[in-house]
Structure 1
Amino acid sequence: MSDARISWAKTALLTSVVDDFFDDQKKNKKTSYINGEWLDMLRCMMTEAEWQRSQYVPTFEEYMECGVTSLTHGATVISGMFFIGVKLTDDIIKHQEYNEVFRLVGTCSRLLNDIRGIEREAMDGKLTNGVSLVALVVACRYKRLKWKRVDTARRKLLKLVLREGAIPRPCKQLFWNWKMCKNLHLFYYRTDGFSSPKMVSAVNAIIKEPLELGR
C-alpha cells in the first residue's frame, strides 16, 4: 500500500498543477508553446526508459539529443519567459538563436549531471549515462573530454547571452543570470548535489530555518 499511496500523491499533485495552469483561458497561446516543450520532454524521457528496459546502449550523439531535452529546461525556462514583462512573438520562440541557447545550456547541465551522478546512477543500474558512453569511445581520455565539453558549451552560452540578437536580453538572461546555468554549476561542478550532505544541509536551512532580518 505504501507504493500505491506514493503514486496517488504524486499523480494528484501533478494533475492539480496542470489543471490550475489550464484554468486561465487567457493563456491559450502561451500554453501551446509550453505543451510542445512538455511533449518533447516526455518523449525523450520515454525513449531513455525504453533504452533501460531493452539494455540498449545509444551512441553519445543519440544520448545527448534526448538528454538535453529530458532535463526539463525547455518546460521550465520557457514558462518563466512569459512572465518577465517581455512580449514574446512566434519569431522569437521559433528563432534558431533560442534553439542554440537551449541546446548549450542543456549540453552543459546534462554533462555536469552525468559527471557527478555516474556513481549514484551506476548503483541504480543505469547504463545510459553520457559519461559512460564517452568512456566507451575514448577510454582513459574521457575525464578530460567531458570537462572540455562542459567548458566549451558554457563559453558559447555566455557569448550568446551577452551579444545582441533576435532574442531580447532579459529572455536570454533566464538561461544565465537568472540562476539556471549558475545554479547547475553550484549544484554539480564540485560534487553531486543530490547526495552531498553539505548541499542537503544548505537546502534544508533555506526551507526550514527562519530568516534573520537586520534591525
Structure 2
Amino acid sequence: MELLSVNLGRPKAVDYTDQPQGLTGIDKRPVDGPVRVAAPGPKGSGASGLAGDAVCDLRHHGGDDQAVYALAREDLDDWEGELGRTLANGAFGENLTTRGLDVSGALIGERWRIGPDVVLEVTCGRIPCRTFQAHLGERAWVRRFTRKGAPGAYLRVIEPGEIRAGDPVRIVYRPDHDVTVAVQFRAETTERELLPRVLVAGAALHPEALAEARAYVAKYGGGQGA
C-alpha cells in the first residue's frame, strides 16, 4: 500500500459555487516534495490539514474531522472506464491518491500511518455536492457518484508530520466493529435505515454524522451502542 500522490488546490474563481467569494479549492494537483500535515482546527475556523491546500467554503469543508480527503487510484481507474476519459490523481479533489488500499472499505476509526510520522484516522465518507459535479463536468454526477457507493474517506490527523508521494501506507489500528466508510455513506444517503448501525463506531465517527444517526434513532428507534 502506498501514497501515489499528494494533491493540493489553490483558490480558483468559478461561476458554479455558492461560496460567497465565488472561490473553490477543489481543483487539486499533485505536488513534489514533502507536505506538512497537521490538525487545522475546528470546522469553520480551520481549513485543510495539508499546508498549502486551499479550503474556500469553510461551512462545509475543512476542520479537524475532515482535515484530509483520500481516494483510491483503483476507484479513479474504474471511473475512467465508465466515463471514457482520463482522470489524473487529484481529479476528484482528493488530497491523497493511494494504491493498494481499500479506502471506501476502511472502517470508521481505522488508523493509517503514512511515511514515518503521520497517523490519520478515518471519520466518514465524502458526500458529493454540485461544486464537485460542475468541476467534473458530468451530468447527474451527484446521483451517479452516490449510487456507486465508493466515496473515498475523510480523515482526522492523530499524529502530524510530513508526507510525500511514494510513502508507504500501513494500517496500524482497526476497531472492533464492521462499519466501513461505504456503509456509513449509504446510511447517510441512500439507505437511511442503516443509520442505527453506524452508532457502534462511536466518537471516531465525524461528529455531524454521529449526531445525524442519533437523531434518527431518537425519532425511529433501533439504536446500537454509542
Question: How does the TM-score come out when normalised to structure 1?
Answer: 0.30
Question: How does the TM-score come out when normalised to structure 2?
Answer: 0.29
